[in-house]
């Protein structure tokens, strides 16, 4: 089945207590595409880049089965550029620079061959762009996942809520869930948000894992505790890519499959944070992924019969 990913393909400059990297490849779409490519083979990426984004990186994506026909290249302009600095706790960060560049004119037109995609990952972009992608689909997808950020809750809440009503799965972090719902308690926040329409809601809690709500159930997937966190940039996008890569292999979408997908998302996210940019996520293999899945399983399984 086909997985369509819409998200930024960018350059980032990132500073963490472990060092600084300048103008390295980044972008939510890039992270999600790479993560999904380890689990699924029919991936289409929709984005916009300038002439400065390395063509060799597009070829690397193609070699992993990521179709990049949907990435518009504006040769005489610059790619989206983001720069951020993390605090000592590696959780909080400040955005230093956001240069929209080509993203300022991004109005994605889906290639015809993308319009029947069965799984859709709408990365963090303006709600108007996210809506326009849904409008261009010719058949009802099996699942649409929406990611967003506090910025859009602040300045475009009504438009955002309109898109949330059209998706099956909303993936946000705990602060965003509180902002969106006006409730501090996350269970109450989830109840309010689910009333907007999505069948599933994931509330990410960074290094403390992620909660899944849906079909009157609640599930928790931990983040794998790691002794080497270098750069958290893109962890949420990598998580979403892993989750959707896993789900795109399922013929039916049910609560159990989304639960399993959460564990794949957590495993992929755990690689992302171990190095700067996409360094780690571009260099893993399936046995390493399997080992992480087993590690998460071991972390959370207890034989209660012996208690």
Summarize as ranges the residues that interact with ligand AMP (CB under 6 A).
Answer: 8, 10, 12, 26-28, 82, 98, 124-125, 233-237
Burial-class residue 272 by CB neighbours within 10 Å (0-12, 13-18, 19+). buried
Q: How far apart are CA 206 and CA 223, in angstroms?
A: 7
Nearer to ligand AMP, 67 or 147 (CB): 147
> What is the β-pairing status of strands 43-50 and 3-6?
parallel
Nearer to ligand AMP, 118 or 265 (CB): 265
Closest listed residue to residue 150, CA positions, set 172, 117, 121, 118: 172
CB of 242 to ligand AMP, least distance (A): 13
Q: What angle do CA 198, 200, 202 make, to 5 degrees?
A: 115
- For ligand AMP, the nearest residue by Cβ is 26
| Residue 227 CA from chain centroid, whole number | 23
Nearer to ligand AMP, 2 or 79 (CB): 79
CB of 124 to ligand AMP, least distance (A): 5
Nearer to ligand AMP, 10 or 210 (CB): 10
Give, in order, the Cα–Cα distances in Å from 27 to each of 24, 105, 194, 273: 10, 17, 28, 14
Closest listed residue to residue 176, CA positions, set 225, 222, 210, 128: 210
Nearer to ligand AMP, 177 or 253 (CB): 177
CB of 223 to ligand AMP, least distance (A): 14
CB of 19 to ligand AMP, least distance (A): 17
CB of 299 to ligand AMP, least distance (A): 23
CB of 52 to ligand AMP, least distance (A): 14
Give, in order, the Cα–Cα distances in Å from 135 to each of 120, 139, 140, 145, 258: 12, 10, 10, 15, 25
Contact 166, 189 (CB under 8 A): no
Nearer to ligand AMP, 253 or 266 (CB): 266
């Amino acid at each position: 089945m086909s997985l369509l990913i819409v998200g930024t393909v960018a350059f980032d400059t990132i500073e963490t207590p472990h060092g600084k990297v300048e103008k390295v490849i980044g972008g939510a779409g890039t992270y999600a595409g790479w993560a999904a490519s380890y689990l699924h083979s029919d991936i289409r990426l929709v984005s916009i880049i300038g002439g400065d984004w390395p063509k060799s990186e597009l070829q690397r994506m193609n070699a992993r089965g990521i179709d990049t026909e949907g990435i518009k290249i504006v040769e005489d302009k610059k790619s989206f550029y983001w720069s951020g600095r993390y605090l000592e706790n590696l959780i909080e960060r400040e955005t230093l620079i956001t240069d929209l560049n080509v993203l300022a004119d991004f109005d994605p037109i889906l290639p015809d061959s993308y319009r029947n995609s069965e799984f859709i990952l709408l990365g963090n972009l303006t709600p108007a762009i996210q809506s326009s992608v849904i409008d261009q689909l010719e058949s009802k997808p099996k699942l649409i996942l929406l990611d967003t950020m506090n910025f859009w809750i602040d300045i475009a809440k009504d438009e955002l809520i309109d898109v949330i009503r059209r998706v099956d799965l909303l993936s946000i972090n705990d602060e965003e869930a509180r902002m969106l719902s006006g409730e501090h308690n996350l269970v109450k926040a989830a109840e309010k948000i689910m009333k907007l329409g999505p069948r599933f809601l994931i509330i990410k809690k960074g290094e403390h894992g992620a909660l899944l709500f849906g079909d009157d159930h609640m599930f928790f997937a931990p983040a794998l505790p790691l002794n080497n966190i270098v750069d958290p940039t893109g962890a949420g996008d990598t998580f979403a890519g892993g989750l959707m890569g896993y789900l795109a292999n399922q013929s039916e979408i049910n609560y159990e499959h989304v639960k399993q997908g959460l564990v794949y998302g957590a495993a992929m996210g755990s690689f992302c944070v171990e190095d700067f940019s996409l360094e780690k996520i571009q260099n893993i293999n399936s046995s390493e992924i399997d080992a992480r899945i087993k590690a998460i399983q071991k972390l959370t399984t207890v034989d209660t019969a012996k208690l």
